[in-house]
Amino acid sequence: MKSLLVYRILRKLWAPVARWQLTCHTIAQLQELAHLGQAVEVHGRIQFGDPQNTYFGDDIALNDGFFVHGEGKLSIGSHCHLGQQLLIITSNHNIEPAECLPYDKKRILKAVSIGESVWIGDRVVIVPGVTVGEGAVLAAGAVVTADVPPLAIVGGSPATVIRFRDEAAYARLKSEGKYLAWPRSYDLINDRKFHIRRRAN
């Protein structure tokens, strides 16, 4: 009973330190991006494959478990909101022609591009070489293996088009500049306001 009490006290004392370490690690990664637009928002743990080959527009929201695997180029347009446990893969093993089995040591880099105002649900997987068009919606659990047209709503494994967003309504909201939580003059990292240093372009 005494050891449980000590554990709870230590856990309570350690939680703010662990949260601050996570925030510092997140900011350090974001500062390494090739381009970081204004007003990024991050909640939880994130990991980039190659920060110096990653390009973010303005007003991008990342949630816990955002993970980029591979050193290929990643571009994400402005006003994108990305769900939890998102996996983006930007490279793959070489199998044809391979020097050994099941694959050789060569990595094939393929860029992933995500257009503006895209909403990606939880637990989505995006494979190398995919382009997601502007205004698209990727439903939770989708495995995106092919390009997604602009304004398409896709889901499933492999992801297929379910329907398209209303083009006129989308165009009106865009022309009026109506974006969720925008404009904003600060970065938001784990519910705290910051002004992250950007790399010189």
Catalytic machinery residues: 93
Question: In a 3-state reduction of DSSP, which class is residue 87?
Answer: strand
The H or E element spanning position 8 is helix 2-31
CB-side neighbour CA atoms (13 Å) of 18: 8
Spatial separation of the C-alpha atoms in residues 86 and 74, rounded to whole Å: 14
Spatial separation of the C-alpha atoms in residues 89 and 66, rounded to whole Å: 11
Dihedral sign, Cα of residue 165, residue 132, residue 45, residue 84: positive
Matching residue, tokens 């309570």:
12
Q: Are strands 74-76 and 112-114 parallel, antiparallel or unpaired?
A: parallel
